[in-house]
Amino acid sequence: MTTSERLVEATRELLWERGYVGTSPKAIQQRAGAGQGSMYHHFAGKPDLALAAIRRTAEEMRAAAERVLAGESTAYARVEAYLRRERDVLRGCPVGRLTMDPDVMADDALRAPVDETLDWLRDRLAGILREGVASGEFDAALGPERTAAAVVACVQGGYVLARASGSAAMFEAAVDGLLALLAERRTA
């Protein structure tokens, strides 16, 4: 791994663990095993490095979601696969946690990949749910856009419940509840 890659990976981990303010250039350098000169050779400063890290995290989240959302199975099965995919629930969502970081949300450039990723996820899920309505799998009253927003909210809220209780069971309970509600809208 190159020095710039180590810096980005270290920043990603630190942002997830500590947030933007808690991610100091010194901590990044120590975690990456890189000197100050190397950091500033590859990146203009902490905001530039944080942006690269947030973009990488967002790309990986989209790729992980797409792996389970793509395919030929039913709309319900694809949404269920997304909800039940393996996650480090007690650690939380590396993208979702950034929405609670006031420094990230106050910076348009840092916030943009977060917004884009959550928008992409809602749109992708809504498209799958629209397919389910069009094929007759779900009843026409499902409301794909609002249901997609509920799926994303369930995942993000499930992380919060699990972290607060110290138990992944709370995340699983939220997923089970949403899937039960979604199953009630199935026509087939």
Instruction: State yes or no: pLDDT of 31 exceeds 80.
Output: yes
Residues 162-177, mean pLDDT to the nearest whole number: 97
**What's the start-to-end Cα distance of the chain, in Å?**
50
State pLDDT tens for residues 34-80: 988 989 999 999 999 999 999 999 999 999 999 999 988 999 999 99
User: How is residue 1 annotated by DSSP?
Assistant: -
**Dihedral sign, CA of 175, 172, 111, 38?**
negative
Instruction: State yes or no: pLDDT of 170 exceeds 90.
Output: yes
pTM equals 0.93
**CATH class in words for 57-184:** mainly alpha
* Separation between Cα atoms, residue 117 and residue 43, nearest integer Å: 23
